[in-house]
Amino acid sequence: MKLAKSLLAAAVLTTSLGGIAVAQDKVTIGVSVPAADHGWTGGVNYFAQQAIERLGATYPNVEFVFASAADAPKQIGDIEDMVATRGIDALVILPGDPDAMTSAIKQVKDAGKFVTVVDRQLSIDGVENLYVAGDNPGLGANAAAYFKEALPEGGNIVILRGLPIPIDQQRFDGFMGGIEGTNITVLDDEFANWNRDDGFKVMQDFLTRFPDIKGVWTQDDDISLGAIEAIKQAGREGEMFVVGGAGMQQILQRVQAGDALTPIDVSYSPAMIATAIELTTSHFTGGIQVAGRYILDSTVITADNVDEFLDADSPF
């Protein structure tokens, strides 16, 4: 069904693009993302706008409509407006709260639009034409693999989690599965809300509570930055290492410098929104088959490959 639809779309496109230079058919693509309420979503907004600017210049016949919403009702309103008043042909959406937004996104699909969902899985299958996401269980599993390697004898670690939403659970389960059967002991885990200040507070208290910590898994670089300050304040930076996730420039610079406190990072780039916009655009401009699932690796970033991930212009 999905295949048939995209084949059909491809066929329609190839005929409409018969003349190469003549791009008379206007295509409108709506892009809807959550507001920049923390570092990672800030990156999403930046990379989305950057991709739109670049693609808008390359393809004059493609028009983009961009909206950033603070909560699910506002985001639903945004996409309803896009369909009703802007006549979009495709929607690229990173749903802030996927469960709350599934039926609204399904309506866009039922209206015959091409739908690309980014990062967060909807609550029912088969709504989206294209799904672009990072690998959350992989992010946990890859971090766990490093902990196994760095602590072959085992040891005590603490975990700073994000917010209680499915992504966090997938990462956590991936990590716990990865360290199963080793002598690594998780002393405790607490939510630090993907936030530097909370990372600082929770880590300070973990340091007060546990005299022996070998490793800290924060699964997010914003939390890491707060936790690192707390560790430095306690003068215990020689005792442990911190592994985050996302690939924030500040952490990558430390990885590049060979800082023993942050030996590695695990990528989970907000630039995935740009990948999704690119793919969706090429569905219309190139007549290329793009439907399906597109999972970006959660790569382990070490001093050896960090150069590929450094980008001086990125605000994230």
Partner 1 sequence: MSASAPDISAKPKRAFRLDLKTVGPLLALALLVLLGISLNENFLSYNNLTNVLARSSFIGIIAIGATFVITAGGLDLSVGSMAAVIAGVMIMVMNWLIPSLGIGWSVVIAGMLSGLLLGGVAGVFNGLMITRGRIEAFIVTLGTMGIFRSLVTFLANGGTLSLNFNVADVYRPVYYDGLLGVPYPIIVFALVAIGGEIAMRYTAFGRYCAAIGSNEQVARYSSINVDNVRLMTYILQGVLVGVAVLLYVPRLGSASSTTGVLWELEAIAGVIIGGTTLKGGYGRIWGTVVGVVILGLIGNILNLQSFISPYLNGAFQGVIIILAVLLQRGGRRT
- The binding site for partner 1 (CB under 8 A) comprises 35-39, 41-43, 45-46, 161, 164, 188-191, 195-197, 200-202, 204-206, 208-209, 222, 225-226, 229, 233-234, 250, 315-316
Q: Which is nearer to partner 1, 37 or 307 (CB)?
A: 37
Q: Which is nearer to partner 1, 191 or 294 (CB)?
A: 191
**What is the nearest approach in angstroms of partner 1 to the Cβ of residue 63?**
23
Q: Which is nearer to partner 1, 36 or 150 (CB)?
A: 36
**What is the nearest approach in angstroms of partner 1 to the Cβ of residue 205?**
3
Q: Which is nearer to partner 1, 36 or 83 (CB)?
A: 36
Q: Which is nearer to partner 1, 46 or 309 (CB)?
A: 46
**What is the nearest approach in angstroms of partner 1 to the Cβ of residue 202?**
6
CA–CA gap between residue 146 and residue 292 (Å, rounded):
31
CA–CA gap between residue 130 and residue 134 (Å, rounded):
14
**What is the nearest approach in angstroms of partner 1 to the Cβ of residue 7?**
38
**What is the nearest approach in angstroms of partner 1 to the Cβ of residue 195?**
5
CA–CA gap between residue 50 and residue 45 (Å, rounded):
9
Q: Which is nearer to partner 1, 5 or 173 (CB)?
A: 173
The SS3 call for residue 45 is helix
Q: Which is nearer to partner 1, 106 or 236 (CB)?
A: 236
For 188, phi then psi, to 5°, come to: -170, 160
Burial of 99 (0-12, 13-18, 19+ CB in 10 A): middle
**What is the nearest approach in angstroms of partner 1 to the Cβ of residue 194?**
8
What are the distances in angstroms from CA 100 to CA 117, 123, 125? 14, 9, 15
What tokens does 48 get?
């989305």
The SS3 call for residue 160 is strand
DSSP 299: P
- Residue 252 neighbours by CB distance under 10 Å: 23
Q: What is the dihedral of CA 196, 201, 203, 206, to 10 degrees?
A: -160
CB 142, CB 171: distance < 8 Å = no
**What is the nearest approach in angstroms of partner 1 to the Cβ of residue 232?**
9
What are the distances in angstroms from CA 92 to CA 95, 114, 242, 259? 10, 8, 34, 38
